[in-house]
Each structure stands twice: as structure tokens, then as C-alpha cells.
Amino acid sequence: MKTGELVRLRALERDDVARMHGWFNDPEITRFLGYSFPFSVDAEMQWYDNLQDPKKRDKVLGIVDRETGTHIGNVGLHNIDWVSAHAEVGITIGDKRYWSRGYGSDAMDVILSYAFSKMNLHRVYLRVYDFNLRAIRSYEKCGFVREGVQRDDYYCDGAYHDTVIMGILREEYLNTGT
């Protein structure tokens, strides 16, 4: 797998689960991911174990700061459709010290390169909530195009919010010259 300028991606290990359990119970992070009830380390471990099933159509990798080796977040391809050759990408920078510093965009570039050049996918898409402007800006920087808005699709903090759908095709990614 190619290495980014700031990050590299690696397989998740059991030792990472406790760290991820902290991220995915933090409301400041989960409000960007969709509703979930507070969940246990056991539930997180079960999620991890399910991920090891090679038939599963989700592949999730850890994002590591190249300089320090710190595991700072995850990026994954979900709902992989081998016939239509597309997948949904999801990304979380769990370590907030790395927010707004280009680490997410760098990790996204690595996973897009992997999706198109190694997995032979032809399209990658994502869903992002309308209030997550930091993420939308970063996805646009990566070359994603806004394809639609699902109105009142998400309920959070007492109100309905829209979900924005963004997509990028292989030829668009290759033409950005990254």
C-alpha cells in the first residue's frame, strides 16, 4: 500500500480496540457518525472479530502518524459491491490533536489510491452530515463531487439534519494528478 505524506495505513490489531472504544463513545466524534447507544469494550471487540471474516464486504484500516507511529484514526471501505465496482468510504480521526491538520485528507488519498489502483474499483462514495463542514471541505479537496442531499435523514441534538452524498470516479481521481 502506498504511504501518504503524513500517514500510513495498517491492519487493525486487537490491541487497538481499547483505543477505538474511547473514540467511538465520544459524543464529539459520534455525532458525525450516526446515532449509537453507548457500547462496551466487548461490543467493540465483537465488531473487530466480525471484521476478520474475509467474506465481509467491509475493510477497515488504522491510520498511523508516520512520524510518531501513533494510531490516530480509522479509514474503511464499506458495502463493497464487486459487480458495480464501488464502495462507500468512511473515515474518523479519533485523536482530536490531529484534527484540521491535513491528516484526514492524506489518509483519504491513500485509501482512494488503494481502491482504484489495487482493488480495481471504479467509484467510491461517502455520506456526510450537512453540519460537518470541516469534513465536506476536506472531501472536496480530495476530488469528491457533491451528488445529492438526503433531506432530514439524520436526527441529532434535537433536530433533523441532511445527509450529503459525495462520489468520485476512478478517472476523476487519476486526473487530479495525485
Q: Summarize as ranges the residues that interact with other proteins (CB under 8 A).
A: 35, 83-86, 122-123, 125, 145, 147-155, 160, 165, 167, 169
Residue whose CB is less far from other proteins, 28 or 83: 83
Tell me how far, at minimum, the Cβ of 80 lies from other proteins, in Å. 13
Q: Give me the sign of the Cα torsion angle 21, 25, 26, 30.
A: positive
Residue whose CB is less far from other proteins, 39 or 155: 155
Tell me how far, at minimum, the Cβ of 114 lies from other proteins, in Å. 19
In whole angstroms, what is the distance from residue 173 CA to residue 31 CA?
Answer: 29
In whole angstroms, what is the distance from residue 60 CA to residue 48 CA?
Answer: 9
Residue whose CB is less far from other proteins, 5 or 152: 152
In whole angstroms, what is the distance from residue 124 CA to residue 86 CA?
Answer: 5
Tell me how far, at minimum, the Cβ of 102 lies from other proteins, in Å. 27
Residue whose CB is less far from other proteins, 90 or 167: 167
Tell me how far, at minimum, the Cβ of 12 lies from other proteins, in Å. 26
Task: Report whether 19 contacts 45 (CB < 8 A).
Answer: no
Residue type at 69 in one-letter notation: G
Q: Which helix (H) or strand (E) holds 89?
A: strand 86-93
